[in-house]
Structure 1
């Protein structure tokens, strides 16, 4: 019996979303079209495949058994298309792999990831897309990104996470506006103007740490991007408290100094995440391995030397 391959894509999307409305939006079709495709799938496989519940769609045991086989079939087809794409001169077209990450990781590890990709996977084009631990799971499940580098992991059974290391926080400042390289005292730290880097733009981990000691800081400005600090701190006596890996990247520009924080900040884990079905895409898995190599603890530690 011939099966429309588009029906398999609908099945895969329904298994990912477990919601017909979201599946329709992701596929760019009407909900009625998804319902019609599901009806045809049920007829083809002789099984309801999905049961409606108050929380969305619940896959039947048959659907759960079918999922890996259908994903593998679609992966094989996608692989044949990738293998056949080439330029007129016979050179291979670049395969695009999208990595979601916040710009502190991009600043610290982006160059290393690109260098490894150029050396080991020259026909792969890396696309960095801004995301964070709040939005990364949705972006991966909607296939807007292939991999994610974030702090912590994701509480999502469709995703797999590998922890790669830990980071803490350091103070960054313009060396021209401070005498010497001695660590900041608590008094000097609180007295300085601060640049806040925060998704909300209102508060950050520094405020929580200071509050534990009955202290407050004076925030002169806020930004959502770590990469803006090179311009916002330059030529001022302000400071910023940011993850160590991003602080070291700014230090390497030559004009910024670093100091440990005078108060204890919590350390946090970071790592790489991917969808379970990514294992059937060897190119993405190779890029994942490049990320693991680029972020391995030994090399992270070398940044501070």
Structure 2
């Protein structure tokens, strides 16, 4: 049996924590061990793989190419073990130390997850939530165990991969202008929709609900200013003549403090349904069930 085959599972967990945190102290806190113990695990890992794995660049620790090549297979192995043990173990949020990675837009983060993250700090002090933006490879990341779940509009999830899912909340698309915009009155006309300067979020790799619905209705509305953030787009309307199509919940969250006025769109948009998606192997995992329960509660609070 090779030296790698004899490796204690905890050593692989330590590697996973070190690669995620890139900090010995934080990795130790994540695993509820002392810093000397984590330093010893790093030393054993370096000897095992005959590579420094983490090297210092300025004040930061960065992984070597060997370490980068090991991240995915180690994460996959741990994910398989977690799935196998999921039906036979419990999850105590007050005592556990682990990181959940969720892919979601900044819109979902502001509307639904912001208060949840504050609540979890009290209920689960050792649990970390890593929220990352959605890329085109989101299903592949889920399959490889790099993320725990993702949240996207159900109408836009067309991967064709067998996933488990649950609806969280619905929202509407509305038009937004500066509260002091004198060109637009109490309603927006189709002429204004087609002629006023248009500011919109444009994803790098995934289309948005607004883009998808406009395209489906044959409405060619050129974008004059594009942003890479749902949240930034409405904030830029203040003091401008631009309009934007935004999620109503986001508009109501930001509107009062940022001088926005929300208007019904002359183009009929159908409501969207934000849903969470997760891999079948996580269905019975107590840890994932706990996470999904917290997301359900956060979504229910919106209603």
TM range, smaller chain: 0.5 to 0.7
CA distance 1:137–1:215, shift in 2 (3 Å): closer
Structure 1 residue 241, shift from structure 2 partner: 0.6
Which 5+ residue runs of structure 1 have no aligned equivalent? 9-22, 29-66, 84-90
Q: 2:117 aligns with which of 109, 114, 136?
A: 114
Counterpart in 2 of 1:155? 160
Return the TM-score normalized by structure 2.
0.62
Tell me: CA distance 1:93–1:70, structure 2 relative to 1, closer, same or farther (3 Å). Answer: closer
Per-residue CA deviations over 1:55-87 (Å, capped at 9, x if unaligned) read xxxxxxxxxxxx9999424x599x79x99xxxx
Q: 1:137 aligns with which of 126, 136, 139?
A: 139
Equivalent in the alignment of 2:250: 246
Does 2:187 match 1:183? yes
Cα gap change, 1:92 to 1:210, in 2 (>3 Å): closer
For residues 180 and 238 of structure 1, what CA distance do their matches in structure 2 show? Answer: 10
In 1, are the aligned partners of 2:176 and 2:234 still within 8 Å (CA)? no
Match of 2:72 in 1: 26
Within 1, Cα distance between the matches of 2:270 and 2:146?
31
Matches within 5 A, 1:57-206: 71-73=83-85, 94-131=97-134, 134-152=136-154, 153=157, 155-157=160-162, 159-178=163-182, 182-200=186-204, 206=210
Give the Cα separation in 2 of the matches to 1:238 and 1:216. 17
Q: Which runs of 5+ in 2 are unaligned?
A: 10-68
Instruction: Specify whether residues 210 and 139 from structure 1 end up closer, same or farther in structure 2 by C-alpha distance, changes over 3 A only.
Output: closer
Please, what is the CA RMSD of the aligned residues?
4.2
Instruction: Give yes or no for the alignment of 1:283 onto 2:287.
Output: yes
Q: Which one has the largest radius of gyration?
A: 1
TM-score normalised over the length of structure 1: 0.62
**1:288–1:226 distance in 2 versus 1, CA, 3 Å:** same
Q: How many angstroms apart in 2 are the aligned matches of 1:212 and 1:156?
A: 24
Query: CA contact under 8 A between 2:87 and 2:286: conserved in structure 1?
Result: no
Cα–Cα, structure 1 residues 205 and 125, in superposed 2: closer, same or farther, change >3 Å? Answer: closer
What is the aligned residue count?
236
